Structures are given as structure tokens and as C-alpha cells.
Amino acid sequence: MLGLIITNLITTKEMSQTLHYKISGLMGSTSLACWIVLLMPQLIEQWRLKSAEGIAIGFISIWFLGDFFNLIGAIWAGLLPEVIFLAIWFCIADFLMIFSYFYYTKIYKKKLHKKHHHHSHHHSHLEGEREFIDVNETTPLTDSTSTRRRRRSSTLTDIAMEPQYHSIFIKYILPIIFVVSCGVIGFLLSSSSMSDNQPVDDLPIENPIKLGPQIMGYCSAFLYLGARIPQILQNYKKKSVFGLSLLFFLFSTLGNLTYALQILFFRFDKSYILLNLSWLLGSLGTILEDSIIFIQFYMYRDNIVVNDNDEH
């Protein structure tokens, strides 16, 4: 997937005066920006809640396998170092997600249980001391002043830690605008760095994808499509999407959409479409599955599942 994006971007710059090549390059650059930040919203959500119960371990495990096959394909095809670097970054981000899951479901749960046991042991002593606390002098203003102060704040930390106090525009639309802008700026900068005497005609393009990367493409597409199923089933069983980041799935949909458009705008002939069919199936199929998750976000938006280890 990454190899195709960057290969098309390079060829697009060589034919930069043709409109559909420009659109293809713009879509590819935007898709690349989405992939780079894709997992960050979900990692932040798990850090904020100190819980990974919302994400399905099957989802992130199969996703990791898909990115691993993508990395193998990039190395196998001898693609650019930038492509291999991004493929490695995806695997690292997947590992961080898996590590976060096991940390909050295993390690953090044990720490929280010990802390709760320690507090329960001294509960009787604290009860007597609390009777002498002067509320006016020592109690934090958490109900009125602090809440209003949080709602007025628009720092990135505040938005990440207390998203409930911010508008849809700040939580979702603004980050998407920022990522799309980065993609557009990246494309414009890369296009402006090309010399003006590049060939402009529709030159014949040799197919850079060989059998090995093609096999890896179909493996990745199959795994990406299968990854959503455990998450959809978990949401359905719990009747809740609590702990999932909506922005994560918005970035995924936008990245897959712009990626598919990059392929379709780059060349329209049947042979090229067939050559990239695996990547198209993976992207468009994932969008359909993400649509199901969006419906679940709407259906279960008011349902919150509180686990025993979520004692904040």
C-alpha cells in the first residue's frame, strides 16, 4: 500500500501538468498524512481512560499482521527507504496499541487492585479525619468554577483529556482539517521542488508491482478486511463503543477514501485497475465496515460500560 502511494506520487510529479495526475498526487499525499497519525487518537483515548476495554484485541492483532505483510511486501519489492520506514512506523504504532491493551488490561489492573486494597485498609481512619475538614478552605472547586475553566480552555491537552467539554468542530472537524492541510501542503511543496523541464506527456508507465508484492497486497487486504469483524462483534455484544475513538475511524475512512481515489485518478485503464485490485478491495471494503462502526457509534452513543478495573 505504501509503496503504491509513493510510487504514484513520484510519477505524478513527473507528469504534474496533467490534471488527473495532480488530483491523484493530492489524494495520495492526503492519504499518507492520515496513515501517519491514524492510531494516535485511539492511543490517546486509552491513555485518557486508563483502559483499553473498548478496543478488541482481535482487531489490533489482525491489523498488525496486515501491516506486517505490507512491510514484507515493501522490502521484497526493494521499494524506496521512505516506504520501508513508513511501513516500519506502522508496525511500531500497532505494537504500541497492543502494548497499551495488555498494559491496561493486565498490569494496570493489578496496580489498581493493590491501590484499592490499600485505601480500603485505611478507610476507617480516614473517615474520622474527614469530619474535621473545612470545605471552604481545602475542598477544590470542582463543580462550578473548575468546570467552567475547563470548558473555556482549548489547549491540546485539555481537548485530549476532557473532550466532553468541547464541540464537535474542535474534537473532530478541526483535526481532520489540520491533517488534510498537511497533506495538501506536502503535495504542494513536493511539486514545487520539481524542475519545470520534466516531460509532460502521458508517457507509458511500466508496471512496478511484481508477483511477490501482489501476493502481499492480497494478504494485507484480506487481513485489513478481517480486522474490523472482531471489533464490530464486540461492540454489538457490549452494546457500547465506550473507549473507542471516533476520530480514529474518521481518519481511517478518510485515508482509505483518498487512497482509492489516488489509484482511480492516476490511471483509468483496465490493466492498471486489475493490477491494483487488491488495494482497492482492501480500501473500499474497509470503508464499508467502518460505516457499520459509525452506525454503532450512533446507536450506542449513550451506553457506557463500566468495568471493574475502571475505578477513577
Q: Over the stretch 155-182, which tens digit does the pLDDT of each residue have?
A: 666 666 666 667 888 889 999 999 999 9
User: Does a structural domain hold residue 161?
Assistant: no
User: Does a structural domain hold residue 159?
Assistant: no
The three-class DSSP label of residue 145 is helix
The residue ranking higher by pLDDT, 283 or 74, is 283
Supply the range of the domain harboring residue 83.
2-119+171-194+211-299
Domain count, the chain: 1
Q: Compute how many other C-beta atoms are within 10 angstroms of the C-beta atom of residue 276.
A: 24
Q: Over the stretch 124-142, which tens digit does the pLDDT of each residue have?
A: 444 444 443 344 444 444 4
User: Does a structural domain hold residue 150?
Assistant: no
Residue 103 above 80 pLDDT?
yes
User: Does a structural domain hold residue 162?
Assistant: no
Helix axes 19-37, 174-192, angle to 10 degrees: 130
User: Does a structural domain hold residue 95?
Assistant: yes
Q: How far apart are CA 56 and CA 232, in angstroms?
A: 9
Q: Over the stretch 55-79, which tens digit does the pLDDT of each residue have?
A: 999 999 999 999 898 888 778 777 6
Cell of 89: 512506523
In three-state form (DSSP H/G/I as H, E/B as E, the rest C), the secondary structure along 235-291 is HHHHCCCCCCCHHHHHHHHHHHHHHHHHHHHHCCCHHHHHHCHHHHHHHHHHHHHHH
The reported pLDDT for the residue numbered 170 is 87
User: Does a structural domain hold residue 148?
Assistant: no
Mean pLDDT for 112-131 is: 52
The reported pLDDT for the residue numbered 147 is 46
Residue 144 above 50 pLDDT?
no
The reported pLDDT for the residue numbered 176 is 95
Residue 43 above 50 pLDDT?
yes
User: Does a structural domain hold residue 86?
Assistant: yes
Mean pLDDT for 30-55 is: 92
Q: Over the stretch 223-275, which tens digit does the pLDDT of each residue have?
A: 999 999 999 999 999 999 999 999 999 999 999 999 889 888 888 778 878 77
pLDDT tier at 98, thresholds 50, 70, 90 = very high
pTM of the predicted model as reported, rounded to 2 decimal places: 0.77
User: Does a structural domain hold residue 243?
Assistant: yes
79: left (phi over 0), alpha (psi -120 to 50) or beta: beta
